[in-house]
Amino acid sequence: MTDSQAHWFVREDAESTARALAKEWVRRAGVAASNGLPFRIALPGGSTPRRLMEVVAQTENAKAIDWSRVHLFWGDERCVPPDHAESNYRMAKDALLDRIPIPSANIHRIRGEDDPHKEAVRYAEELRRVFDVSADAVPRFDWILLGMGADGHTASLFPGQTDVLECRDLCAVARQPKNGQARITLTFPVLNAALCVSFLVTGAGKAERLVAVRRAPDRKQRYPASRVEAERIEWWVDKAAASRPE
């Protein structure tokens, strides 16, 4: 990804950023529905996207979406049970899933409670089944939503974990660098095959790293977020995250 190729959307604060991205969610789902197509999304984890999901679940937005055509996946998951406080699935369930009429068959969660290596294989198989692609093909998501950590990681693709960063399988098992927690993550072949990847980044604490991910000469070696090269890359940020001089 080069900065000149990315599309930037800067809003006043985290709330207005979440609302703008929720509006985009409704629009894209509507385009897919009008064309009689499924709309397949990979959801992010972490705290930042929670408000986005809450806004999407609000009545006026939820009613505007044909949920029978929406398939929800996850970009990564912590290896914890689905009711655990750290579960990305639980966050989405509380903020979104419990509030919308989506068929249960359209919810494709990563089973964080299972053996991570076996689950990485199983989830890859589920991706191929739902997308109806061959064993050597890469599924093409309509939309992947990602966050960015203060270290420049995205999904659970962390700096320095070469075996995961270079993995050609659809899913891999990573380790959170600080506590060693196992995580299951989509890999770069999947992220880079997507029609669109949208990063959601808010807060002044991400401002310095955001500049480095955009501009540092060695950014692709240092920051996994810089290695995302989907057909369309978007950055949805608030003014605080965009505040660092370049």
Q: What is the CATH number of the domain that holds 218?
A: 3.40.50.1360
User: How far apart (Å, rounded) are the C-alpha atoms in residues 1 and 68?
Assistant: 33
User: How far apart (Å, rounded) are the C-alpha atoms in residues 6 and 235?
Assistant: 7
Residue 190 lies in a domain: yes
Residue 246 lies in a domain: no
Residue 134 lies in a domain: yes
Q: What value does the mean pLDDT take over residues 70-95?
A: 98
Say what the pLDDT of residue 3 is. Answer: 58
In contact, 180 and 165? CB cutoff 8 Å:
no
Residue 243 lies in a domain: no
Query: Residue 170: is its pLDDT beyond 80?
Result: yes
Q: Give the pLDDT band of residue 5 (cuts 50, 70, 90).
A: confident
Residue 244 lies in a domain: no
Query: Residue 49: is its pLDDT beyond 70?
Result: yes
What is the tens place of the pLDDT at every residue in 119-160?
999 999 999 999 999 999 999 999 999 999 999 999 999 999
What is the tens place of the pLDDT at every residue in 199-235?
999 999 999 999 999 899 999 999 999 999 999 999 9
Say what the pLDDT of residue 195 is. Answer: 98
Number of structural domains the chain divides into: 1
| Domain membership of residue 51 as a residue range | 3-238
User: How far apart (Å, rounded) are the C-alpha atoms in residues 183 and 173?
Assistant: 6
Q: Which long-range contacts (CB under 8 A, 24 or more apart) does 173-176 make?
A: 173/116, 173/117, 173/120, 174/76, 176/78
Residue 14 lies in a domain: yes
Say what the pLDDT of residue 4 is. Answer: 54
Residue 112 lies in a domain: yes
Say what the pLDDT of residue 48 is. Answer: 86
The alpha carbon of residue 151 and the mean position of all alpha carbons in its chain are separated, in whole angstroms, by: 17
What tokens does 244 get? 């660092």
